């Protein structure tokens, strides 16, 4: 099952201050007429869109997870797969998107499953690189739960590679971050990778 990004009404309505004026100038700089009918409201639409796409800057890990950390027995691996993410490349300010897979081995605490999607959104809704998001998610789960191990794999399609530059539309980038038992125990790591391998191949 695919877990879709968590969208808040407040995020959708927030306009980045000053960005509308900058967008008006940007339109002129590329040779467009910002006063023509189709572009009259574009600067404000862009300012709202960027408010949504960079909402992660104004939120904390506590905002994303609330009180959803629970005491629990057991130490079986928990895997949350196919969390959709969308982000903006900090090098070209073009989108990249894909799916995240998160696993952890509890050590007395578990996290409500929907909160993993919120953690992914927290770090992806910023100017980013995929390598950093992957590490930030792993660090966040480790900070929240102090588990025996955390693993994160992300696979992304980068439009800065597809639309410009090398223009390789079918390329994708996979990144991983392993902590604790996933890093030190090959069998644990292999179990997780086996569980997400089919998902990675079926994109």
Same domain for 42 and 133: no
Claim to verify: residue 140 and residue 40 sit in the same structural domain:
no
Annotation marks residue 90 as catalytic: yes
Determine whether 92 is an active site residue.
Answer: yes
Examine the residue annotation and report whether 131 is marked as an active-site residue of this protein. Answer: no
Q: Residue 115 falls within a domain, yes or no?
A: yes
Burial, 49: exposed, middle or buried (Cβ in 10 Å; 0-12, 13-18, 19+)? middle
Could you tell me if 87 and 179 lie in one domain? Answer: yes
Q: Closest Cα partner for 102 from 81, 120, 77, 76? A: 81
pLDDT at 164: 74
The active-site residue, picked from 4, 12, 91, 143, is 91
Identify the active-site residue in 4, 12, 35, 90: 90
**Residue 92 CB contacts under 8 Å (≥ 6 apart), including other chains:** 160, 164
Q: How far is CA 98 from CA 3, 131, 140, in A?
A: 12, 13, 20
191 counts as catalytic: no
CATH number of 37's domain: 1.10.286.10
| 139 lies in the same domain as 185 | yes
Residue of 128, 130, 136, 181 marked active site: 130
Shared domain for 32 and 106, answered yes or no, is no
Assess contact for 113 and 145: CB atoms under 8 A: no
97 with 182, same domain: the answer is yes
- One domain for residues 49 and 68: no
- What does the pLDDT read at residue 153? 98
Out of 24, 89, 128, 181, pick the active-site residue: 89
Residue 7 resides in a domain: no
Q: Which of 101, 128, 136, 158 is catalytic?
A: 158
128 as an active site residue: the answer is no
* Average confidence score pLDDT of the chain: 91
Whether 46 and 84 share a structural domain: no
What's the total number of domains in the chain? Answer: 2
Q: Do residues 129 and 159 share a domain?
A: yes
Shared domain for 116 and 187, answered yes or no, is: yes
**Tally of CA atoms within 13 A in the half-sphere of 108 that contains its CB:** 4
Catalytic-labelled residue, pool 14, 32, 44, 92: 92
Residues of the chain falling short of pLDDT 70:
1-13, 167, 169-170, 201-203
Answer yes or no: do 122 and 101 share one domain. Answer: yes
24 lies in which domain range? 17-53
Say what the pLDDT of residue 6 is.
52
Is 197 part of the annotated catalytic residue set?
no
Looking at the structure, tell me whether residues 47 and 146 fall in a common domain.
no
Nearest-angstrom CA–CA distance, 161 and 170: 9
Between CA 101 and CA 80 the distance in angstroms is: 6
């Amino acid at each position: 099952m695919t877990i879709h990004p968590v969208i808040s009404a407040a995020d959708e309505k927030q306009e980045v201050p000053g960005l509308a004026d900058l967008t008006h100038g940007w339109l002129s700089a590329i040779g467009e007429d910002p006063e023509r009918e189709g572009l009259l409201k574009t600067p404000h639409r862009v300012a709202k869109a960027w408010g949504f796409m960079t909402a992660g800057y104004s939120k904390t890990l506590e905002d994303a997870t609330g009180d959803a950390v629970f005491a629990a027995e057991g130490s079986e691996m928990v895997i949350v797969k196919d969390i959709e993410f969308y982000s903006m490349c900090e090098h070209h300010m073009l989108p990249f998107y894909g799916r995240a897979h998160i696993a952890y081995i509890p050590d007395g605490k578990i996290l409500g499953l929907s909160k993993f999607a919120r953690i992914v959104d927290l770090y992806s809704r910023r100017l980013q690189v995929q390598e950093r998001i992957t590490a930030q998610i792993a660090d966040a789960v480790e900070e929240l739960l102090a588990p025996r191990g955390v693993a994160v794999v992300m696979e992304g399609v980068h439009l800065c590679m597809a639309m410009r530059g090398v223009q390789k539309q079918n390329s994708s980038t996979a990144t991983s971050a392993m902590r604790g038992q996933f890093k030190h125990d090959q069998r644990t790591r292999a179990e997780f990778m086996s569980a997400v391998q089919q998902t990675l191949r079926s994109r």
